[in-house]
Amino acid sequence: MDNARILIIDDDPNLRKTLADILRVKGYETLAAGDGGEGFALLRQHAVSLVLIDLGLPDIPGLDVLDRVKADYPATEAIILTGNATLDSAIEATNRGAFSYLVKPYAIEQLMLHIRRAIEKQQAQEQLEYQANHDGLTGLPNRNLLADRVRQALLYARRNQRQVAVLFVDLDHFKFINDTLGHDKGDRLLKIVAARLTDCVRSDDTVARQGGDDFVIVIADLAAAEDAGQVARKIQDAVSRPLTIDEHELEISCSVGISIYPKDGEDAQSLLKNADVAMYRAKDQGRNNFQFFTNELNDRAVARMTMEKHLRRALERGEFLLHYQPQVDLNSGRISGMESLIRWQSPELGFIPPASFIPLAEETGLIVPIGEWVLRASCAQNRKWQDAGFPPLVMAVNLSPRQFRQEGLAGTVARILEETGLAAHYLELEIIESLVMHDVECATVILKKLKELGVQLTMDDFGTGYSSLSYLKRFPFDKMKIDQSFVRDITSDPGSAAISRAIIAMAHSMNLRVIAEGIETKGQLGYLRSHGCDDMQGYYFSRPVPPPEFEQMLRDRRRLELPEESGGLPERTLLLLDDEAGVIAALQRMLENEDYHILAAGSAAEGFELLATSRVGVIVADHRMPGMCGTEFLCRVKELYPDIVRMLLSGHADMNCLTDAINCGAIFKFLIKPWNDDLLRENVRDAFRFYERQGEG
Ligand code: C2E
Ligand code: MG
Ligand code: MG
């Protein structure tokens, strides 16, 4: 310390003056007091590093002075000066916290030595204190000091009816940069960010580093809560300015969560926690944005914490069960396998679907032991059914991303197969597409290891993860599972239908089987089957069921009824679509003697369902219908089933709709209500002739 300040408390004015002069010459700032009272007055006004206390003071005993100095100014050191007579009390003084004592008369060199040591000791302490309160890398206040600063800001705000903002700043994808560029460069990036953050705020605000890539900013004396949003924006701009570290040009963004005193919390701890909750929300929202804390966020965070608490104990308390959903071969209609799906029956929280707890299990790492339990229980169950004499089936088990990347996964699988005695080819592992595409190199290695065990591999939820064909070829998958989001509206949405057809074609070109999941209707089944899908899974055949019910299905040899492929001459099938039952009836009557196989639908949805299950040649559709209009229906049919001949029947010669229909090329003929029977019969006949000619050509 360059200008350490020393206070001399001695009632001998000569001694005081001499001492003060010497110390000043030696470079110390000095203060002098003739008694204890005067000494304390000076201590209140000045920061003092060291006090020299004479034991024999006129007003307060020297030892009491020492006690008070140590109590009120713990960082200040004290050296006791004493006459011979009071040597005992001098020794007592060191026991009470004095740095040392000197017996008068003392040599000046001796005094200087003591002073230097006392001050050096103090400097070391200050150094320690600095280290305890600051982050070693960036020099910013750390957690300790941050808590202090928040408390100070709150004290001030409370007294002056002001607000305080706490901003939690987390860098986006910092881990990735750290992993790819190395920790050294990661550290340099953190320093740059620290400096930029500091530039964004006023000097009485605090920028602290919480650890890792987490920073906290405390804005004291805030007039309006919205001002915190402006600071957040400023922070985002500052952080995202491009930067260079060696030869690397980098751009980084950050996610910011904001909590405000007094609205979001009364104390440092809750404000920090709530800013953190809001920051997670910002991450959820796709990163690179800021979010204010809200009560709704709080409720969600509390619910999450509650669930986590129970989830941690669920495995040991045996709260998980497995349900099995059959998979059916679309050639034979027989059950060909099953998927095991976890269920959580919590005594405290009730039934919780996997979509609600698997992500949390994944985040907390609990998925690893849970997943291992699923694997073991599923393999054991499969083996049990085989031992009971049922035809052997393949058991599909889902692997989560964390499990997939877990060190030694292949070893675990091998061990479980061995323990349960299940042959490897009766185990199938489902891996979601987005997971393997995330890190292709790494995924390839893991998949190969699994494949070497002899298990089957399925790419789950296919179509959602932007796979590129060239990568797909490198992965040793056996099967692809079309995601249910495409199956859901496959019969009515040309986009979903086109993707599904493309997946089937692509998978077959690579000799992979294709299974579609989430099949709920005959139409979805019909469409997929007619386009060559190999297997199905979905409520249409069965929901996931507990083991006894699954066993019953096996015992009953339950099968999926598949419509016969119609042999012989193709029938002329006509679909009539109108929301008015009277119109349908009239049309049916009029076409009675024409030898058509007539299907009738009251809505577009029904129409799509029928198209997917029968081979329709001609459609006559009404234009005005609730839900989807006839024009839109026919436009979609054009994409889904380009061969079907489409006619629109409309009561209103609505020019716009006519133009639309013709422009999108969806209409073979446009018919007007009320119709002329003969003309309409002739038009339908024409349409079938056209349809049949297409078929020949
Ligand atoms: P997933 O692997 O895609 O499983 C298929 C989901 O679709 C299951 O939901 C199943 O019940 C549901 N499903 C099957 N057929 C139909 C249908 O016709 N219609 C509809 N709407 N849904 C159908 P569930 O059991 O709720 O599981 C949801 C997800 O949770 C699974 O999606 C999977 O990602 C995950 N999961 C389930 N069990 C496990 C497990 O043991 N481990 C891991 N890591 N994830 C699991
Ligand atoms: Mg699955
Ligand atoms: Mg799926």
The verdict on the CB of residue 10 being under 6 Å from ligand 1 is no
Read off the tokens for 682: 């002739």
Tell me, what amino acid is at 192? I
**Average pLDDT of 440-460?**
93
The verdict on the CB of residue 544 being under 6 Å from ligand 1 is yes
The verdict on the CB of residue 254 being under 6 Å from ligand 1 is no
Contact present, 259 and 267 (Cβ < 8 Å): no
Using CA positions, which residue lies closest to atom 13 of ligand 1? Answer: 518
Sheet holding 618-622, edge to edge: 597-601, 573-577, 618-622, 645-650, 669-672
Residue given tokens 């073979």 in the structure block: 668
Q: Which residue has the higher pLDDT, 113 or 321?
A: 321
pLDDT at 339: 98
> Of 3.40.50.150, 1.10.1200.10, 3.20.20.450, 3.40.50.300, which CATH number belongs to 304-481+543-556?
3.20.20.450
Percent share of the chain, pLDDT over 70: 96
pLDDT digits (tens, 9 = 90+) for 12-36: 999 899 889 988 988 899 999 999 9
The verdict on the CB of residue 342 being under 6 Å from ligand 1 is yes
Residue 640's H or E segment, with its range, is: helix 630-640
Using CA positions, which residue lies closest to atom 32 of ligand 1? Answer: 355
Domains 5-130 and 573-696 share a fold: yes
Q: Which ligand is nearest to the CA of 327?
A: 1
Using CA positions, which residue lies closest to atom 22 of ligand 1? Answer: 518
pLDDT at 358: 95
pLDDT at 288: 92
The verdict on the CB of residue 487 being under 6 Å from ligand 1 is no
The verdict on the CB of residue 523 being under 6 Å from ligand 1 is no
Considering the domain 5-130 in this protein, what is its CATH number? 3.40.50.2300
Read off the tokens for 407: 């060190």
Per-domain boundaries in the chain = 5-130, 134-293, 304-481+543-556, 573-696
Read off the tokens for 592: 């009675």
pLDDT digits (tens, 9 = 90+) for 261-276: 999 999 999 999 999 9
Residue 526 has pLDDT above 90, yes or no: yes
pLDDT at 1: 45
Torsion of CA 181, 182, 188, 190, to 10 degrees: 90
Could you give the CA distance from residue 641 to residue 688 in angstroms, rounded to a whole number?
Answer: 15
The verdict on the CB of residue 229 being under 6 Å from ligand 1 is no
Q: How far is the CA of 482 from the centre of ligand 3 (A)?
A: 8
Q: How far is the CA of 430 from the centre of ligand 2 (A)?
A: 6
Residue 569 has pLDDT above 70, yes or no: no
Q: Give the confidence band of 568 by pLDDT, cuts at 50, 70, 90.
A: low
Torsion of CA 633, 637, 639, 641, to 10 degrees: 170
CATH class of 573-696: alpha beta
Question: Largest alpha-carbon pair distance within the chain?
Answer: 138
Backbone angles phi, psi at 574, to 5 degrees: -115, 130
The verdict on the CB of residue 400 being under 6 Å from ligand 1 is yes
**Average pLDDT of 374-402?**
97
From 341, 363, 364, 490, mutation site for ligand 1 pocket: most ligand atoms within 8 A of C-beta: 341
pLDDT at 215: 97
Q: How far is the CA of 464 from the centre of ligand 3 (A)?
A: 10
Q: Which ligand is nearest to the CA of 461?
A: 3
The verdict on the CB of residue 341 being under 6 Å from ligand 1 is yes
Which alpha helices (DSSP H) does 209-267 contain, by range?
Answer: 225-240
pLDDT at 468: 65
Q: How far is the CA of 333 from the centre of ligand 1 (A)?
A: 22
Task: Give the list of residues 6+ apart from residue 174 with CB closer than 8 angstroms, or none.
Answer: 186, 189, 212, 213, 252
Q: How far is the CA of 363 from the centre of ligand 2 (A)?
A: 19
Report the mean per-residue pLDDT for the chain: 90
The verdict on the CB of residue 463 being under 6 Å from ligand 1 is no
Could you give the CA distance from residue 128 to residue 133 in angstroms, rounded to a whole number?
Answer: 9
Name the DSSP letter for residue 532: T
Which alpha helices (DSSP H) does 321-366 contain, by range?
Answer: 354-364
pLDDT at 469: 64
Q: Which residue has the higher pLDDT, 359 or 563?
A: 359
CATH topology of domain 134-293: Alpha-Beta Plaits (3.30.70)
The burial of 47, by beta-carbon neighbours within 10 Å (0-12 exposed, 13-18 middle, 19 or more buried), is given as exposed
Q: How far is the CA of 104 from the centre of ligand 1 (A)?
A: 88
